[in-house]
Amino acid sequence: MPARVPSTKEERKVNNCDVLNEFIVGMTTDFGKTNLPWKGRRSTFLGATCFLYILPSITVAYFNPQQTTSLARQRWHWAWVLQCVFSFCSDYITSGVDSIWHGIDRWYAPTMTLFVTSLAYLCIHPALLVLLVPPWVCIKMSKRARLSKNWDGYVFFHSLWHLVGSVLAAYITYLACSLPVTDDNTDKKMHFF
């Protein structure tokens, strides 16, 4: 079901400060607590989209023009496998109930976002930072839908966050893997892959 545009005054009142405050509290004092207002409610579709985070792992495993098996490639592969596990455990298995998986996912997902952002900016080209806008909008809209108790909006935008984020991470991984190591970019690439 498509997400609806916030129509009530209460839904429009959810602002950036609420989203940021909820993010910080969720990563600290409410580490293992659910932040969903729907206790125990799950979306199979949302749970399935957690597995899209395997795309960067597949990219690093199969797009390998130098046929290398560097430690960095192996770590990148397993980092995304873990992202799938943490996301699935938080967003599906323990959806709406308190669990340590929520805190782990709240720390791990932003860390992976930071790594992908760093990879794009430092190793490929700073202009790629514009690609962060769509996933940022998705997660912001997901949080707004959750705070305004809009289940369909939450499922739609959180699933879209998984889709857009994983596809962009795979694309940036692809670019990093395909960047030839030359005298001009040896320092820039930092031999990441």
What integer best gives the mean pLDDT of the chain? Answer: 84
Rounded to an integer, what distance in angstroms lies between the CA atom of residue 137 and that of residue 140? 5
By mean pLDDT, which of 8-22, 77-91, 155-169 is the weakest?
8-22
pTM reported for the whole predicted model = 0.81
By mean pLDDT, which of 10-14, 71-75, 177-181 is the weakest?
10-14
> In the predicted model, what is the mean pLDDT of residues 125-139?
93
Share of the chain above pLDDT 70, in %: 79
Q: What proportions of the chain, in percent to the nearest 5, are helix, strand and coil?
A: 70, 0, 30
pLDDT of residue 60: 86
Terminal alpha carbon distance of the chain: 40
Rounded to an integer, what distance in angstroms lies between the CA atom of residue 159 and that of residue 48? 9
Q: Do residues 59 and 170 touch, judged by C-beta distance below 8 A?
A: yes
Residue 178 banded pLDDT, cuts 50, 70, 90: confident
pLDDT of residue 190: 44
From the CB of residue 58, how many other CB atoms can be counted at a distance below 10 Å? 13
Name 60's Cβ contacts closer than 8 Å, sequence gap at least 6: 73, 76, 77, 80, 173, 177, 193
Helix (H, G, I), strand (E, B) or coil at 148: coil
Q: Do residues 94 and 169 touch, judged by C-beta distance below 8 A?
A: no
pLDDT of residue 160: 98
Q: Do residues 166 and 56 touch, judged by C-beta distance below 8 A?
A: yes
> In the predicted model, what is the mean pLDDT of residues 98-124?
93
Q: In the numeric block, which tokens belong to residue 5?
A: 């545009």
Rounded to an integer, what distance in angstroms lies between the CA atom of residue 137 and that of residue 66? 36
Cα 146 to chain centroid, rounded: 17
